Amino acid sequence: MTAPFSMTIDTPDGSFGAYVAAPAGAGPFPAIVVIQEIYGVNVVMRGVADHFASLGYLAVCPDLFWRIEPGIDLTDQTDAGNKRAFELFGIFDVDKGVDDIAATLKAVRVDPRSNGKVGAVGYCLGGLLAYLTATRTDADAAVGYYGVSIDGRLEEAEKLAAPLMLHIAEEDEFVNKDAQARMIAGLGNHPHVTLHTYPGRSHAFARVGGAHYDAADAATANGRTDAFFEKALKA
Q: Which residues are catalytic?
A: 172, 203
If residue 18 lies in a helix (H) or strand (E), which one and from where to where? strand 14-21
Q: Are 9 and 19 in contact (CB under 8 A)?
A: no
Three-state SS for 23? coil
Nearest to 93 by CA among 132, 48, 46: 132
Measured between alpha carbons, how far is 8 from 15 in angstroms, rounded to an integer?
A: 7
Nearest to 23 by CA among 59, 74, 48, 70: 59
**How far is the CA of 156 from the CAs of 35, 121, 192, in angstroms?**
19, 18, 13
